[in-house]
Amino acid sequence: MTLLLAIVVFSCVFVACQTAPQDQSWTEDVVSYSGFQLWSATPRNKTEREFLLKIRQDYELEVWRESRSDNRPVDLLISPDFQTELKLRLADAQIPYEVKIADMQTEINNENPNITDSGTEFENRFTTRFKRYMAAFISFIPGHKMDWNSYHRVDDIYGYLNYLADTYPRLVQLVSVGSSYEGRPLYVVRISSSSSGTKPAIWIDGGIHAREWISPAVATYIIQQLVEVADNERLLRNVDWYIMPVMNPDGYEYTHVNNRLWRKTRSMTGSRCRGADPNRNFGYQWGGKGTSRDKCSEIYHGSNAFSEPETRAVSNFISGKANQIQVYLTLHSYGQYLLIPWGYAVEYPADYNEMRDLAKAAASKFRRYKYTVGNSADLLYPAAGGSDDWAKSIGIKYSYTVELADTGRHGFILPASFIQPVCEDFFPALEVFVDKVATIKV
């Protein structure tokens, strides 16, 4: 019996190997951030802001959080090679700074303890690859592995979406809107108490930026609450939902296997550097401020608007439902902001005050985490080609970017113990958007 089971499992794993997405993560090195630190420097005037900008450029530092105004922190990832020199330079300039994360790799290792492997690097990578293929086999077994106590891989998330579609066929429709660069399906979950599709709708997406793990976690939690919690039925009476928990599945998977801090897609660019920033790749004010032509830049905007299959598929799907979708929410991290277009420059849409009032009403529902509401480019920095600007430009009136927790203590490496509190704090705010959308006729 044991031998038979082993043969069945091996056969299923073999099939999974043949059908798994064709990425190259297995052959690439795992990036270690041992000795890297996250520094938070606080410029107090224009001179100090310009000094920090020069340091960033001189040392080609990765910026985790920018600031356009005085007394707001700038978060920088500092290589061990530069730490001694930069301490001296900041001390000479008398710019205050704080070491938020003393060793980035230790923070990464402790982020998701429920699924952290032990052993040598090769053993861990073999286990990771074996788990990926086993996930394909397990997907044939009823049930799912999803919870909100740890961060989950793409296979777990997709397995849960398929489970919901199979279990609640009158409520959930799983729609593949296209394929990623590496061939993974791009799934949107439609949640509706009717089949007509004539009700106003809310769109939510997560995982545009691969390293922002809290984003898909919150998106899947919202799906779970809408589908599996009967007390939330009122949120479905007058509104349909379109939720895409992982817009950039290739990048997200890469952060679990090779480079925890990867941000972009995984497309080939014709250079040694891969991927484009999908949130600079949407076709409104594409190529403007806050983007780069440099293919190795974290904010590379792509070869043209919608050059990435992920952004192209999403834009095609949303464009076809732009008259129905009344609210667009794109989930990011970090900083705790509810951001309003326009993001390409410090410009304000004609209905900015109305958008701000709705966002403030939503933010008032938060109890554990406090969110700042305002214009994207004004509060943070100009960034052209963003998905929220594009959604607004095609007529989706209430388009927002949500920067989830925290405010910088952990940054992108938010421990899994924060998932449940962040999700539970965020969900009640959706009722504000539902009440607004329910009054709109489509």
Q: Which residues are catalytic?
A: 403
Cα-Cα-Cα-Cα torsion 257, 259, 261, 263, nearest 10 degrees, comes to -90
Distance CA 89, CA 243 (A): 46
| CA 120 to each of CA 32, 35, 229: distance values in angstroms, whole numbers, following the listed order | 13, 19, 42
Beta-carbon neighbour count of residue 217 at 10 Å? 29
Distance CA 92, CA 90 (A): 5
Distance CA 99, CA 317 (A): 43
Secondary structure of the chain in the HEC alphabet?
CHHHHHHHHHHHHHHHHHHCCCCCHHHCCCCCCCCCEEEEECCCCHHHHHHHHHHHHHHCCEEEECCCCCCCCEEEEECCCCHHHHHHHHHHHCCCEEEEECCHHHHHHHHCHHHCCCCCHHHHHHHHHHHHHHHHHHCCCCCCCCCCCCCCCHHHHHHHHHHHHHHCCCCEEEEEEEECCCCCEEEEEEECCCCCCCCCEEEEECCCCCCCCHHHHHHHHHHHHHHHCHHHHHHHCCCEEEEECCCCHHHHHHHHHCCCCCCCCCCECCCCCECCCHHHCCCCCCCCCCCECCCCCCCECCCCCCCCHHHHHHHHHHHCCCCCEEEEEEEEECCCEEEECCCCCCCCCCCHHHHHHHHHHHHCCCCCCCCEEEEHHHHCCCCCCCHHHHHHHCCCCEEEEEEECCCCCCCCCCCHHHHHHHHHHHHHHHHHHHHHHCCCCC
Q: φ and ψ at 79, to 5 degrees?
A: -65, 145
